[in-house]
Structure 1
């Protein structure tokens, strides 16, 4: 009787399974990296278009509000030796300036930036009232112009000059640039910004401050406008301290100030109140 040959079935090795698991893990890591990079540049792109990367307080969940409030409190505590302030425009509606003494009922306010103009013809509807009341409140005041890249820079400078009378003790004028141009090159944008700054500096006899988001600052302004002081907006809750190269830091738009309805921008000056006073127009 012929002996039947025994068929030996080999067990699957772990190698194939291990390779499969490695592929899955690698794919997952790559996908995560794509999401992170994509979010980073999506956020940066939005900031160039003038969008604010911080969600309005009213739309935050309870947990998000807790995180936001903890971040604000942490930043304020880290800078209790520096001058603190806020900024407003017509969007804050009527402000009870007699109550605007503290942030979160604890941290004393020293300064305020007030929007004066935008583009070549816009005058903030509440600028005159806000400017007058803030001075009566003895806050150190600064006025800012919202720059529209697709409008004539000289006309925009003249709009600001005819609207704002700065005196001794006021902060230097501020140029707020947030958007990229639609009808001109970046080179022409920078030329327009330079013209605005030069016209305004010649009129007020003081070098203006430039306001922008950190991405915009790093990509377009940092190198060519390094001789100007900067006021930088960055709402990243991982950042707890103002950077050395920033004169002012706008660290949230979800702050709370008594006398102002709703939430608003809060700012830190990179120095004491005395140092801020020395920065003012002489």
Structure 2
């Protein structure tokens, strides 16, 4: 019997996909489109700030700032977003003579309610303008606070005594402030923390109120957050892309390049993370 030969079924060939290549011209068009889209979105986001910058700035503001255009736009943007919060500033002898009768607004628009004034630094330094600034700010209706610039390599008890001998707080003032920004050169971090706690304890015992701690965001995260829980923090963060308060920032110093009438040169600007009523509970 003859063998039947099975025929192989013809395999179906899948149609080959044509590879699509974008020409250099097409890539350029797409890139340009997305670049312009980003510009349009950015301009819309900063529309109020840009309108202020190009139309409404006073002669004083234009002459009195060393901020870049982008920094000025950000300053206005942050203030606009928080205009219902309580806005303030801080000064030291580096601002020179201040005309306190004029320190009412910042960036021509936003009302100023409080000021922190440097009183002392280290174990023996008194800010040369403290007494004048302390008196002038009170007379012109600003809520005032005094801060001590802490020097890590100096005796903490002597530094506390320097502040106590200089600052007489009254009802309606902020609690005293410890400004810690630098790392020690001749002592360990653990020793620094011991010194900070001694300063805070002595100050709290004298004024019968828990002090506020001022520092930068990185310093806070690296050295203060864990061991100083329970304290009120005033945090400096100038990041251009940060426009909102964080929960642990009771007070946020968001720029060092604000413009305030009555003060020559740039000024640190701060926002209190709460309502005016909440702020009153914080005061002495």
Structural mapping, 1:109-124, within 5 Å:
109-124=112-127
Deviations for 1:151-200, whole angstroms, at most 9, x for unmatched residues?
Answer: 00000000000100001100000000000001110000000000000000
Deviations for 1:10-54, whole angstroms, at most 9, x for unmatched residues?
Answer: xxxxxxxxxxxxxxxxxxxxxxxxxxxxxxxxxxxxxxxxxxxxx
Alignment partner, residue 105 of structure 1: 108
Alignment partner, residue 148 of structure 1: 151
Give the deviation of 1:141 after TM superposition.
0.3
Give the deviation of 1:105 after TM superposition.
1.2
1:126 is the counterpart of 2:133:
no
Give the deviation of 1:226 after TM superposition.
1.3
Instruction: Output the CA distance in 2 between the equivalents of 1:107 and 1:278.
Output: 23
Alignment partner, residue 67 of structure 1: 70
Instruction: Output the CA distance in 1 between the equivalents of 2:218 and 2:76.
Output: 24
1:79 is the counterpart of 2:78:
no
Alignment partner, residue 244 of structure 2: 241
Deviations for 1:205-263, whole angstroms, at most 9, x for unmatched residues?
Answer: 00000000000000000110011000000000100011011110000000000111011
RMSD: 1.1
Alignment partner, residue 280 of structure 1: 283
Alignment partner, residue 139 of structure 1: 142
Structural mapping, 1:14-53, within 5 Å:
none
Structural mapping, 1:94-243, within 5 Å:
94-243=97-246
Q: Which of 83, 93, 96 is the matching residue for 1:93?
A: 96
Q: Which of 227, 240, 261 is the matching residue for 2:264?
A: 261
> Is the CA contact (8 Å cut-off) linking 1:110 and 1:273 kept in structure 2?
no
Give the deviation of 1:277 after TM superposition.
1.7
The 3-state SS of whatever aligns with 2:132 is helix
Figure out how many residues of one structure are paired with residues of the other and give that number: 221
Instruction: Output the CA distance in 2 between the equivalents of 1:72 and 1:277.
Output: 26
Unaligned runs of 5+ in 2: 1-64
Deviations for 1:38-93, whole angstroms, at most 9, x for unmatched residues?
Answer: xxxxxxxxxxxxxxxxxxx63x6xxxx11101110111011111100000000000
Instruction: Output the CA distance in 1 between the equivalents of 2:101 and 2:267.
Output: 17
The two structures have a TM-score, normalised by structure 1, of 0.77
Instruction: Output the CA distance in 2 between the equivalents of 1:123 and 1:271.
Output: 31
Give the deviation of 1:274 after TM superposition.
2.1
Q: Which 4+ runs in 1 deviate beyond 3 A?
A: none
